[in-house]
Amino acid sequence: MKKVSILVPESSVMQAVADPQYLFTTVNHFLIAAGKSALFDVELVGIKKEVKLNNGMFSVHIDRQLKEVQKTDLVFIPALFGDMSAAIAKNKEAVPWIIEQYNKGAEVASLCVGAI
């Protein structure tokens, strides 16, 4: 089973968090319905236990904080919204964790401006 860690940074686009989570878990549901094993262990991960997005309109409750994730197979970074310099500054604590996971063999994928 592949471990998928979907990062939930401050200033991220809500749909860029929710859609990948939905995609990976839906694949698992289809596989299970077909009598097969799930392929993905999907978790929302972040610096804080709760991340408010869209000026507080949405709250995302993560499954595990970054410090609790020792190894993952895929780090998924969602698109960011707004002032990119400010967004990167708000999430600078995540950068060493992303690099650490990459150095441990994880693939790193991002959507659009999440690649900055």
- Residue 28: CB atoms within 10 A of its CB come to 18
| Residue 7 pLDDT greater than 50, yes or no | yes
For the beta carbon of residue 73, count every other beta carbon within 10 angstroms: 16
d(Cα 66, Cα 72) in Å, to the nearest integer? 11
0.95 surpassed by pTM: no
**The pLDDT value given to residue 113:** 61
Distance between CA atoms of residues 20 and 111, nearest Å: 10
| Structure token digits, residue 105 | 């063999």
pLDDT in tens, 48-96: 999 999 888 899 999 999 999 999 999 999 999 888 899 889 999 999 9
CB atoms within 10 A of CB 35: 6
Q: Which tokens sit at 52?
A: 């408010």
Return the bridge partners of 108, or none.
Answer: 75
User: Has residue 115 got a pLDDT over 80?
Assistant: no
CA-angle at 8, arms to 81 and 64, nearest 5°: 170
Q: Which amino acid is at 31?
A: L
